[in-house]
Amino acid sequence: MRHCMVLAIVAVLLLLAAASSQTITTFEGIDASAFRGATLGVDPNGAIGTKQYLEWANTVYQGFDKVTGKSVTSITAGDTPWVENGMPDCEGSSGNVEILFDRMASRWVIGRRQGRGTFFYCIAVSNTDDLTSPTFAWYTYELPLNSILGNCPSGSQCYPDYPKIGTWSDGYYVAIDMEDTGNGFQQAGVLACAFDRTTMLTGGTMRTPQCFRVPGNEPYPSHSLEPADIDGVNAPPVGQPEYFASMENPAQGQTQANFLNEWVFHVDWNTPSNSYFHGPSKFTVNSYTQGCFTPSNPENTICVPEPSSQQTGQLIDSVGDRLMERFAYRRFLGTTPYQSWLVSATVQVGSAVESQTGVQWWEYRDKGSGHFGTVTFNDGNYRFMPSIAEDQTARMAVGYSISGATMHPSMAAAYLNLNKVGPPKEIMLWSGAADEENSYHWGVYSSMTVDPIDNCTFWYVNEYFGQNQIGSEINWQTRISNFKLPTCP
């Protein structure tokens, strides 16, 4: 019997974490064996809504009941919303897709790049928060990209890669890497666009997206910009612009960097000439070295071992050259109001070249000092591919993959109190049983989100293997886990 048939049953695990008991509920997500045409690019992500969890993996999406973990929709081809609405420009399979839950409007949002030669950025917004509603439907939109991207320095049409989307009160904000196909896909700048969220939520005709094209060559400080994405229902102060963040990649020719890059996007829908996209400004942090960094090949990010690596020579990509989704924002009200932004990345935690990786997290606040720290433990294992979020009591949780010479790729999370920062506490979410022996690719996303109903429960999705993936096989699996810290009411 296939291992995944057993894993499809909801499992409730009780783990004892440092000073308190921690209950973790986990159930099977989308698996490669469940649909045709699965490829190596898993890219698992998703978000928790008011009633369901909506997951994306590879080229498909599926909804799950948040209480039982049972599927509430079939596995659905990723282009379905646009096919149903007769938008052929957005038809076809594509990767680098993100699913959000717009907490202020209680709607699902899907953002994806589509096209070959002629490119589009496609957004779908649901008309309700209930995936099982008989009136459920998607409002769909598209933005032609070729003329905005233009040509890169080699003369080739710039290629749109690694798009990211975030929810802000006055728009859906998107950042897209511009890559030069005539120069080895080197980054040649960034495209940042604001989409008319207000109209899109009603299914109306959106106003023309406002975009800024910022050219530049690597090493480039806007590499894979992350737009802020709101947790909770407290909107940012009226008129506050959207923020984007990036890390240095490579670290401007240096082994280490001690800053992040901040960009500001202000949109004026009534007078577009008043809109602006400014940056980068430097935000000083602790010194860090990107995951898997080596001076001879600073763009290499492949160094994570798995038990089979000694025999196969196959290592896993840490994707340590960029910040990872999400750039989580939360506004706290009350007697001492403040705003908090959180982001994370894979960094090197050992002194040797291509040494052990850990998870670096950074918090910025508009009032008082921010915080930062590293999730690493003296166990020789590599932690990578993180995603971070914050509950209503200023406790953060960051989920990530974990693998090592004696540990199959698995899923874990660490948490701590951002108002009283101490050593992080780690909990195992799911233990993998096998390795990916035929590829270094380990997706480019995982996703940590917070339940919009209780504002306490963290939900995390990532990939693993129940059986060794060898030769031409594609048998990855995904797992969705949730937990609530006992300090959150």
Task: Say what the pLDDT of residue 354 is.
Answer: 62
The answer, yes or no, to whether residue 4 has pLDDT greater than 70, is no
Q: How far is CA 119 from CA 92, 160, 182, 363, 426, in A?
A: 12, 8, 17, 35, 42
Compute the half-sphere exposure of residue 293: CA atoms within 13 Å on the CB side of its CA.
Answer: 25
**Is the separation of the CB atoms in 84 and 76 below 8 Å?**
no
| CB-count burial class (<10 Å; 0-12, 13-18, 19+) for 444 | buried
Task: Say what the pLDDT of residue 253 is.
Answer: 60
**pLDDT digit string, tens, across residues 228-275:** 999 999 999 999 999 999 987 655 566 788 889 999 999 999 999 999
**pLDDT digit string, tens, across residues 179-209:** 999 998 888 999 999 999 999 999 999 999 9
Over its C-alpha atoms, the chain yields an Rg (Å, rounded) of 21
Residues in contact with 430: Cβ distance below 8 Å, sequence separation at least 6, in sequence order: 26, 410, 411, 464, 479, 481
Task: Say what the pLDDT of residue 353 is.
Answer: 59
Task: Say what the pLDDT of residue 168 is.
Answer: 98
Compute the distance between CA of residue 249 and CA of residue 22 in angstroms, rounded to an integer: 37
The answer, yes or no, to whether residue 9 has pLDDT greater than 70, is no
* Least trusted range by pLDDT, from 14-28, 188-202, 470-484: 14-28
Q: Is the peptide bond before 219 cis (omega within 30 degrees of 0)?
A: yes
H/E segment holding residue 345 = strand 338-348
3-state per-residue secondary structure call for 237-267: CCCCCEEEEEECCCCCCCCCEEEEEEEEEEC
| Per-residue tokens: 322 | 């960029």
Percentage of residues in the chain having pLDDT higher than 70: 92
Task: Say what the pLDDT of residue 252 is.
Answer: 56
Q: In this structure, how many other beta carbons lie within 10 angstroms of the beta carbon of residue 313?
A: 8
Q: How confident is the model at residue 144 (pLDDT cuts 50, 70, 90)?
A: very high
Compute the distance between CA of residue 308 and CA of residue 314 in angstroms, rounded to an integer: 8
* Least trusted range by pLDDT, from 22-26, 79-83, 145-149: 22-26
Q: How confident is the model at residue 5 (pLDDT cuts 50, 70, 90)?
A: very low
Task: Say what the pLDDT of residue 223 is.
Answer: 81
Task: Say what the pLDDT of residue 14 is.
Answer: 38
**Is the separation of the CB atoms in 152 and 181 below 8 Å?**
yes
Query: Which one, of 389, 425, 396, 285, lies nearest residue 347 by Cα?
Result: 285
**pLDDT digit string, tens, across residues 89-101:** 999 987 789 999 9
Task: Say what the pLDDT of residue 355 is.
Answer: 78
DSSP codes joined into one string, 409-476: EEEEEEEEETTS----EEEEEE---S-B-S-S---S--EEEE-TTTS--EEEEEEE-SS-B-TT----
Average pLDDT over all residues of the chain: 91
**Is the separation of the CB atoms in 469 and 456 below 8 Å?**
no
Q: In this structure, how many other beta carbons lie within 10 angstroms of the beta carbon of residue 21?
A: 9
Length of the chain: 489
**Is the separation of the CB atoms in 225 and 263 below 8 Å?**
yes
Compute the distance between CA of residue 231 and CA of residue 246 in angstroms, rounded to an integer: 20
List the helix and strand counts (H, then E) for the chain.
Answer: 5, 31
Compute the distance between CA of residue 253 and CA of residue 219 in angstroms, rounded to an integer: 8
**Is the separation of the CB atoms in 110 and 61 below 8 Å?**
yes
Task: Say what the pLDDT of residue 219 is.
Answer: 61
- Residue 167 has phi, psi (to 5 degrees) of -95, 130
**pLDDT digit string, tens, across residues 35-86:** 999 999 999 999 999 999 999 999 999 999 999 999 999 999 999 999 999 9
Would you state the torsion angle of the CA atoms of residues 403, 355, 321, 229, taken in this order, to the nearest 10 degrees? 50
| Per-residue tokens: 295 | 């001076």
393 torsion bin: left (phi>0), alpha (psi -120 to 50), beta (else): alpha
User: What is the average per-residue pLDDT within 449-473?
Assistant: 97
Q: How confident is the model at residue 300 (pLDDT cuts 50, 70, 90)?
A: confident
The answer, yes or no, to whether residue 12 has pLDDT greater than 60, is no
Query: Which one, of 325, 326, 318, lies nearest residue 289 by Cα?
Result: 318
| Per-residue tokens: 185 | 């896909």
Q: How confident is the model at residue 329 (pLDDT cuts 50, 70, 90)?
A: very high
Compute the distance between CA of residue 486 and CA of residue 403 in angstroms, rounded to an integer: 28
**Is the separation of the CB atoms in 445 and 45 below 8 Å?**
yes
Residues in contact with 217: Cβ distance below 8 Å, sequence separation at least 6, in sequence order: 153, 186, 187, 188
Beta strand 45-48 pairing with 20-28: unpaired
Question: According to CATH, what is the number of the domain 3-483?
Answer: 2.130.10.10
Task: Say what the pLDDT of residue 218 is.
Answer: 61
Of 181 and 218, the structure prediction assigns the larger pLDDT to 181
pTM attached to this predicted model: 0.94
**pLDDT digit string, tens, across residues 337-393:** 999 999 999 999 977 656 799 999 999 999 877 899 999 998 999 999 999 999 999
Task: Say what the pLDDT of residue 250 is.
Answer: 59
Percentage of residues in the chain having pLDDT higher than 90: 79
Q: What does the domain layout of the chain look like in residue ranges?
A: 3-483
The answer, yes or no, to whether residue 211 has pLDDT greater than 50, is yes
Dihedral (CA of 7, 431, 34, 162) sign? positive
